[in-house]
Every structure is written in structure tokens, then in C-alpha cells.
Amino acid sequence: MTTQRRDVVITGIGIASSLGEGIETHAAALAAGGPPVVDTESFKPYPVHPLVALELDKQIPKKSDQRQMEPWQRLGVYTAGLALDSAGLKEDAEAKSALQVIVAAGGGERDHAVDSAILTGLRGQNEPGAFLNERLMSDLRPTLFLAQLSNLLAGNIGIVHGITGPSRTFMGEEQAGVDAVRTAQARIASGQSDLMLVGGAYNAERRDMLLLFELGGFLRQGRFAPVFARDDAPGLITGSASAFLVLESAERAAARGAKAYAKLSAAGADRSRRTTPGAVEAALTKLIDGFGAIGPDTLAISAATGCAGITGEEAAALKAAAPAARRIAVGDLVGHSVEAAFPVSVALAAIALSAGQAKEAIVTGAGHWRGEGAAHLVKA
């Protein structure tokens, strides 16, 4: 848990999901409770929240830049640009030279055509090992591996938007997003930085990721159901989404007359040993207790996955910590976006506060198989 020494405010928000893009769109969805946009046919039997069509030229002007990025990278670069616009920093070269970037990212995307051809060719091979080695050496382009590097999202953000400050990339499913936000908040609170751009992006419309989650038994099949009501068939319904936040010291924001959407007063992370029931609930309860007294006008934004066991424990932790809070499951609106899930949830909390939907918000998230996180926001 971070020790607050300086106030940290959110002065820029960039967000895009199946609901659309931008602050106003998501504020309206939060107020109305949806409805979600769900595709139950393209990846049947697995429902997915597909990304809305974006006019990429608005944030990534060069077609050559667009072509060399994978979909999740384009999405992240796009929302990072929205965040810079929101903060009024897009044309501020001096600020962008001081801006530090922290990205939560997963691995790159597979070449499905090559994978399918190799798997088909393996059938009936007398020497499958030799065949596999030959095809891997001849069919996989070196540039494919370069495009799969996780830190290329941060690199592309810097190239496209002219950010020359340092960057960091965290990997590790949902916990990457938690630690990205936690680290950015802590650096500003401690005086190590004044200005940070933090976020993540996830493309859910990937058969390779759906396969990986299904092999682990984590996916929901069939129709859509709310996150906290998936008892019949618990599991993830993933969603393509991205959010980036501009975090700033309150002093710096005030000095330049920037609007603060919310104050990010704390962010914390834990990793419980999930060997006994109640471990996730205990970890989240400890994190929330560290925020101090929770007021009556509190909004609880949950990045719960919908997976069996841990989702119920997250619900129990929220009920115990803030029994009167209005609870919103982010998965009910935009789906679960893995590395981007926590940044998206914090962005939605800040949007709700800036729209006057609450005075205080807590954000929680337990990863689908490891890691827990929580954040505390108050109205600026």
C-alpha cells in the first residue's frame, strides 16, 4: 500500500471499448447501467464484447504506423492520444519530454494462417518434429516476433505522440494493470515524478487467447450473463478495451489550470496464496481497509472476472467494506480486458466521479488465477 505524501489527480482520460469511445459515452453507460454490446456468434460458443469501430486516423495519422501495429497496439496508441487530448498535453512538447509512460501489456498476436497450416500439415507426418522445425524456420517472419514484443506499445505511443520521456512495461495478466496504476500513483505521491501516462489495451477478438483461456477452464460459454450472476456457467467473457490515464501532482495540475477528473488517493496490490477458501476476500478486505473509512456516497467499481469462487469472494469483500455502495461490475458493461481491466476500471471510476454520479469510489479486481488489487478515488 502506498503512503500518500502528495495529492495525485487524474487530468486526462482516454478510453475505448465495445460501448464506443470517450468520456461522455462511458459516463452515459455508467449512469444507465449499459446495455452491453455482446457478440455471441463470431467465436461461438464463447461470447465476446467486440471493439467499436474507431477512426484511427484521428490519433494515428500515418497509415504506415497503423499497418505496422497489431490491433491491440493500435487500440492502446489511440486511447493514449485521447488521454493526452483530454489533459490538454497533445501539443505541449515540454510536458511530453517530462512525461513518463507505464504500460500494462500482454504478448503479441499469433499469425493464425501460419498456425493453421502447420497444424494441418502435422497430420500424418512420419517425422513431426523435423516437419515442425522446418516450417517454423521458414514460415515465421522475424518481423512477426518484433511486432509481438510487449514493450512496442509504449514505443509506438512515444513515436506517434512525440513522447520522449522514459517508459516501463509490465506483463502478467490482470496484475500488470494493477501494478502499472499502483506504481504511477506511488511515484507521483512520493515526489519521484510529476506527470505520468499509464494504461493498457487488450484485443479480445483473438482465437489464440480464447483457446488459452478455454484450456485453463476460465471461459464462459453460451449466452451473456452479468458477472455476479454466472452461477449456471461461471467464467470470463472477455472484451476488447483500452484505457490510459494522465496522472499529475495536484500542484502541477493547479499551476497550469488543468481540470482534475478525480483524485487517485491510493492504489494497492496483493497476491494471496489461493490454497484455501477466503484468501481472495481477505486480501481485498485488507487493501480496502487501508483506505480508511468509506463514506455513504461511495461507488464500488469491480473488475471481477466472473470466474467461479473468486468472484463470490470479491463480492463478499465489497459488501463487507461498503454495504451501502452502488456496485458496478465492469464486465457487465465492456467485458473483461485482462491487462487493461484495472486501468479501465479506474478510468470508469474517475468518469463517474467527474460526472457527479458519486463523491467517492473504490475499485477492486482479483485476477482470474492470481493477484488482487484495489484503488481509492475521491471527487476532485
pLDDT tens per residue, range 322-336: 888 899 999 999 999
Q: Which of 290, 243, 244 is nearest to 267 (CA)?
A: 290
Neighbours of 327 (CB within 10 A): 17
DSSP letters, 115-127, are: HHHHHHHHTT-SS
What's the confidence (pLDDT) of residue 89?
Answer: 97
Distance CA 236, CA 43 (A): 14
The residue count for the chain? 380
pLDDT digits over 341-369, tens only? 999 999 999 999 999 999 999 999 999 99
Neighbours of 127 (CB within 10 A): 9
The amino acid occupying position 35 is: P
Residue 338 Cα distances to 193, 224, 280, 341, angstroms: 27, 18, 17, 5
What's the confidence (pLDDT) of residue 2?
Answer: 42
DSSP 39: B
161 Cβ neighbours under 8 A, 6+ residues apart? 77, 80, 81, 84, 90, 96
Cβ atoms of 152 and 73 within 8 Å: the answer is: yes
Q: 354 pairs with which residues across the strands?
A: none
Q: Which of 111, 104, 114 is nearest to 154 (CA)?
A: 104
Distance CA 302, CA 299 (A): 10
pLDDT digits over 100-143, tens only? 999 999 876 666 677 778 888 888 888 888 988 888 787 766 55
Distance CA 291, CA 180 (A): 19
205 Cβ neighbours under 8 A, 6+ residues apart? 42, 43, 48, 50, 51, 71, 240
Q: Which of 242, 241, 240, 245 is nearest to 183 (CA)?
A: 245
pLDDT band with cut points at 50, 70 and 90 for residue 266: very high
Neighbours of 371 (CB within 10 A): 24
Run of H or E including 317? helix 310-321
Neighbours of 328 (CB within 10 A): 23
Neighbours of 94 (CB within 10 A): 8
pLDDT digits over 209-257, tens only? 999 999 999 999 999 999 999 998 999 999 999 999 999 999 999 999 9
What's the confidence (pLDDT) of residue 1?
Answer: 46
Q: 225 pairs with which residues across the strands?
A: none
149: left (phi over 0), alpha (psi -120 to 50) or beta: beta
pLDDT digits over 59-87, tens only? 999 999 999 888 999 999 999 999 999 99
